[in-house]
C-alpha cells in the first residue's frame, strides 16, 4: 500500500482520532461512512495481544470492509510491540499500525508506556524500528508536544521516529500534563511539518468539520484528526468533506439521526454479545452494556433539541434499545410539534 494517498495530504485528509472507550467498531464505522478518511482502534495493550488475551483481541474487532483503519497499541518493549503488531497484521483487518506515545492515563504512564515514551525517545525509536522489521504495513506514531511545558521535546521525537522509519506522525498539540484542557499549539505543529520530510498530522480543538479543514490549510499539515468533536456526531466528517470541496454540507435530518442512533446501538449490542463470551457470569446483559456505552454519544446526538434535557435525566434508567429509541422519538416529536429548544 502506498503511503501517499493515506498520509501525505494529497486530497481530503480528515480522520478520526483514537479515544479509549469511544472509538470501537460502531463509532469508527459510522465515521467512515460519513467521510472520515481513516480511523484507529481504541488503545490496545501489546502484551495482551502476545498473551492471546481474548479481551484484548476484542478491541481489534472491525466491521467487514472497514478501511482504512489502524491497530492502535501501547507498550514499552520493542520485541513485545513487534510481536503484537505481527499478530495484528495477521488478522488481515488493518491498513497500518499506530504506536501510542501520548496517552496520559496514569495506569498506562506508570508502566512507562503511552505519554511516558516521550521521556525515552531512544526507546520509542527502537519500537518503531522493531515493528517495521516485523510487519509490511506502514508504522505511525501518535504523540503529544511534550510531557510538560518544561519538557517540550517534540522536535527531538519527530526527528527520531522519522529516522527510525515511521510513515507518519500524528501530533496532539497539548502537553500530556494538561490532558484535554487548555490551548492547542498549532503553530508548533505547523513548524514541525516544515522541518520534517514525513507526513505530519495535527490533532486537538477541531469542533466542526469546517474548523478541521481550516486548521489543515492554515498550518500546512498533511491532515487533521478529530476526536471529541465526533462523539455523537459522525456527520462532522461529511461537513469536513463538503468544506474541503468548497460546498455546503447537507444537514442531518431527524430520520437520519434516529436511524444512526439505532445502527450505532445495535452494533454495540453485537460487540457486547461477543464480549460476554469471555466475561464472568455476572456481567451485564449485552443490551444493557451497549446502552451504557452509547450514553455519552446519545447526549450529543440529541443535544440542543427540544426535550434533550429530559433524555439526560432519563439516561441512567435506560437499559434497552426500546428505552433509547423511545427517548429519541420523544425528542423528534417535540421538534415536529414546534416545541422550543431547551
69: containing domain? 3-244
Q: Which helix (H) or strand (E) holds 142?
A: strand 139-146
Q: Which of 1-10, 22-31, 283-292 has the largest mean confidence?
A: 22-31
Do 205 and 106 reside in the same domain of the chain?
A: yes
In a domain, 340, yes or no: no
Do 101 and 203 reside in the same domain of the chain?
A: yes
Query: In this structure, what is the dihedral angle of CA atoms 16, 80, 87, 126, given to the nearest 10 degrees?
Result: 60
Classify residue 11 as exposed, middle or buried by CB count within 10 Å of its CB (0-12, 13-18, 19+).
exposed
Do 166 and 50 reside in the same domain of the chain?
A: yes
Do 144 and 64 reside in the same domain of the chain?
A: yes
Q: Using the 3D structure, point to which of 211, 244, 277 is the last residue of a domain.
A: 244
Q: Is the peptide bond before 68 cis (omega within 30 degrees of 0)?
A: yes
Q: Please report, for the domain that includes residue 313, its CATH number.
A: 1.10.1200
Q: Using the 3D structure, point to which of 184, 210, 244 is the last residue of a domain.
A: 244
Does residue 168 have an active-site annotation? no
In a domain, 169, yes or no: yes
pLDDT at 3 > cutoff 50: no
| 3-state secondary structure (DSSP) of residue 172 | strand
pLDDT band of residue 1 (cuts 50, 70, 90) is very low
Do 54 and 174 reside in the same domain of the chain?
A: yes
Q: Please report, for the domain that includes residue 233, its CATH number.
A: 3.20.20.70
Do 178 and 66 reside in the same domain of the chain?
A: yes
Do 15 and 100 reside in the same domain of the chain?
A: yes
| Distance, CA of 114 to CA of 105 (rounded, Å) | 8
Grid coordinates given for 261: 442512533
Do 260 and 187 reside in the same domain of the chain?
A: no
Among the ranges given (2-16, 140-154, 222-236, 306-320), the one the predictor scored with the smallest mean pLDDT: 2-16
Mean residue pLDDT of the chain comes to 94
Do 184 and 216 reside in the same domain of the chain?
A: yes
Do 172 and 57 reside in the same domain of the chain?
A: yes
Single out the catalytic residue among 37, 103, 168, 177.
Answer: 103
Across the range 128-143, mean pLDDT stands at 98
In a domain, 341, yes or no: no
Q: What is the pLDDT of residues 17-47, one digit of tens each?
A: 999 999 999 999 999 999 999 999 999 999 9
Q: Using the 3D structure, point to which of 226, 244, 262 is the last residue of a domain.
A: 244
pLDDT at 319 > cutoff 80: yes
Do 25 and 54 reside in the same domain of the chain?
A: yes
Grid coordinates given for 264: 450505532
Domains identified in the chain, total number = 2
Amino acid at each position: 500500500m502506498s503511503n501517499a494517498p493515506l498520509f501525505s495530504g494529497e486530497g481530503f485528509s480528515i480522520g478520526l482520532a483514537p479515544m479509549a472507550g469511544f472509538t470501537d467498531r460502531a463509532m469508527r464505522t459510522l465515521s467512515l461512512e460519513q467521510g472520515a478518511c481513516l480511523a484507529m482502534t481504541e488503545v490496545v495493550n501489546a502484551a495482551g495481544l502476545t498473551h492471546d488475551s481474548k479481551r484484548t483481541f476484542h478491541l481489534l474487532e472491525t466491521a467487514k470492509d472497514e478501511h482504512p483503519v489502524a491497530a492502535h497499541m501501547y507498550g514499552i518493549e520493542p520485541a513485545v510491540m513487534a510481536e503484537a503488531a505481527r499478530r495484528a497484521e495477521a488478522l488481515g483487518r488493518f491498513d497500518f499500525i499506530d504506536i501510542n506515545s501520548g496517552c496520559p492515563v496514569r495506569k498506562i504512564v506508570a508502566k512507562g508506556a503511552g505519554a511516558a515514551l516521550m521521556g525515552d525517545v531512544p526507546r520509542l525509536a527502537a519500537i518503531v524500528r522493531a515493528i517495521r522489521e516485523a510487519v509490511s504495513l506502514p508504522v505511525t506514531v501518535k504523540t503529544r508536544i511534550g510531557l510538560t511545558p518544561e519538557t517540550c521535546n517534540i522536535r527531538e521525537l519527530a526527528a527520531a521516529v522519522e529516522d527510525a522509519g515511521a510513515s507518519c506522525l500524528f501530533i496532539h498539540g497539548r502537553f500530556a500534563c494538561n490532558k484535554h484542557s487548555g490551548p492547542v499549539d498549532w503553530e508548533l505543529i505547523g513548524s514541525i511539518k516544515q522541518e520534517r520530510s514525513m507526513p505530519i498530522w495535527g490533532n486537538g480543538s477541531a469542533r466542526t468539520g469546517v474548523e478541521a479543514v481550516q486548521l489543515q490549510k492554515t498550518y500546512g499539515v498533511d491532515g487533521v484528526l478529530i476526536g471529541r468533536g465526533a462523539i455523537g456526531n459522525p456527520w462532522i466528517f461529511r461537513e469536513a468533506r463538503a468544506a474541503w470541496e468548497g460546498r455546503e454540507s447537507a444537514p442531518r435530518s431527524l430520520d437520519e439521526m434516529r436511524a444512526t442512533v439505532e445502527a450505532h446501538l445495535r452494533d454495540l449490542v453485537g460487540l457486547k454479545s461477543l464480549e460476554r463470551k469471555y466475561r464472568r457470569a455476572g456481567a451485564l446483559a449485552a443490551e444493557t452494556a451497549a446502552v451504557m456505552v452509547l450514553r455519552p454519544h446519545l447526549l450529543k446526538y440529541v443535544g440542543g433539541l427540544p426535550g434533550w434535557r429530559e433524555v439526560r435525566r432519563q439516561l441512567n434508567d435506560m437499559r434497552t434499545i426500546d428505552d433509547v429509541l423511545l427517548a429519541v422519538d420523544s425528542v423528534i416529536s417535540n421538534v415536529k410539534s414546534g416545541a422550543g429548544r431547551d
